[in-house]
Amino acid sequence: MNSKLAQARAVNRSASGAAVAPPGRARHAGGTLLKYVILGFFALITAYPLILVVSTALKDPLQISVNPFQLFSSFHPQNIVDAWQIGQFGSFFFNTVKITVPVVALVVALSVLAAYALARLNFPGKGLVFLLFTLGLMIPFTSVMIPLFYQLRDMGLLGSIWAVILPAVAGSAGFGIPLGVFLMRGFYLDLPNELAEAARVDGATEFQVFYRVMLPLSAPGVAVLSVLVFFQTWNTFLLPLLYLPGTENRPLATGLYQFAAGRTQDYGLIAAGALIMAVPVLVIFLIAQRQFVKGVTTGALKG
């Protein structure tokens, strides 16, 4: 095979020859140019809607009636203050925080425990429990949204932040306990057994082995999971739309939706609200990009 390769190469070389080399290089340069043109084109398509939000959020109300979407025709940061205060986006913001923080904490705490047991302990029914958790990864929200409404109503939770927190933790919105168990189990399976065994020999209880030895080792996994759950919960739209009908606990997603539906011409304030909602996600994404990409890809590559 090697000789065949060499032969092919030789043929190739003689065919192209010296005269063809320069056009080859030119074609290569052309290819490189084309490559950056394509990459740049998609960069532009990616960036335009983002720039449009920022530009519109900074637009003077007088300019809005002329052309709301002309890029950066004015600088009017007052919109953001107005959206925060008059548009109530400040209160939507804090409601979103009140929902997101408990969801991240609960998903991490509960899935870390369950995943550890599924990965490192032996007990009957382990396979079935894991299978049931995995089923949660495949059930779309559409399949549970209808009964969940009546269930939350009967529990008296409709309208309270728990009507979003509990289903989100359970995995209704996508990234809850099922994903956490799946992701963290992978981490615990990969950890070496020696340290746990050593701790057991030293007389540590199972909980101590987990808490003192394995949990600190799985910190990178916990970081990945936290980032994923944060972003999913911050953005979640259908859960509050269905289960948080009142204004009292309204988060940014539905706050923005109702605001945009009710004041369709207030482009400046709508964009400011969109900015208030998107900036925290963007900042966390840029800070924790490595964890984020890792979470999305391991979730995808192992799934």
For tokens 């929200």, name the residue: 141
Write each residue from 28 to 47 as x if it is in contact with another protein (CB under 8 A), else as -, in one continuous string: ---x---xx-xx--xx-xxx
Tell whether residue 267 is a contact of another protein (CB under 8 A): yes
Can you say whether the dihedral through the CA atoms of 220, 225, 230, 235 is positive or negative? positive
Q: Which of 99, 117, 179, 229 binds another protein (CB under 8 A)?
A: 117
Minimum CB distance to another protein, residue 81 (Å):
20
* Nearest partner of 257 among 270, 244, 275, 266, judged by Cα: 270
Record the tokens describing residue 261, joined without a space.
């539906």
| Least Cβ distance, residue 249 to another protein (angstroms) | 17
Out of 103, 114, 179, 269, name the contact with another protein by CB under 8 A: 114
What is the torsion angle, in degrees rounded to the nearest 10, for the CA atoms of residue 230, residue 236, residue 239 and residue 242? 150
Q: Does 241 help bind another protein (rule: CB under 8 A)? A: yes
Q: From the CB of 187, what's the least distance to another protein, in Å?
A: 15
User: Is residue 172 near another protein by the rule CB under 8 A?
Assistant: yes
Tell me which residue of 202, 219, 206 sits closest to 122, measured CA to CA.
206
Number of residues that bind another protein (CB under 8 A): 105
Interface residue with another protein among 121, 189, 219, 287 (CB under 8 A) is 121
Distance CA 238, CA 287 (A): 27
Whole-angstrom Cα distance, residue 288 to residue 220?
11
**The one segment of 72-80, 81-89, 217-225, 248-256 that binds another protein by CB under 8 A:** 248-256
Q: Which residues contact 288 (CB under 8 A, 6 or more apart)?
A: 223, 227
User: In angstroms, what is the minimal distance from the CB of 34 to another protein?
Assistant: 9
Rounded to the nearest whole angstrom, what is the least distance from the CB of residue 2 to another protein in the complex? 11
Cβ closest to another protein, residue 82 vs residue 196: 196
Binds another protein by CB under 8 A, chosen from 213, 242, 244, 272: 242
Q: Is 1 in the site for another protein (CB under 8 A)?
A: no
Q: Which amino acid is at 240?
A: P
Nearest distance from residue 173's CB to another protein, in Å? Answer: 10
Among 63, 88, 145, 160, binds another protein (CB under 8 A): 145
Helices (H), the chain: 2-57, 61-66, 78-85, 89-120, 126-138, 145-154, 162-170, 177-190, 194-201, 206-208, 215-217, 219-235, 238-243, 252-262, 267-287, 289-302
Q: Which listed residue (103, 158, 256, 272) binds another protein by CB under 8 A?
A: 256
Q: Does 80 bind another protein (CB under 8 A)?
A: no
CB 167 within 8 A of CB 148: yes
**Which of residues 43 and 219 has its CB atom nearest to another protein in the complex?**
43
By CB under 8 A, is residue 215 in contact with another protein?
no
Give Dmax over CA atoms of the chain in angstroms. Answer: 82
| C-beta of residue 74 within 8 angstroms of C-beta of residue 296 | no
**How far is it, in rounded angstroms, from Cα 69 to Cα 270?**
13
Q: Residue 285 interacts with another protein (CB under 8 A)?
A: yes
Work out which of 57, 83, 214, 252 binds another protein, going by CB under 8 A: 252
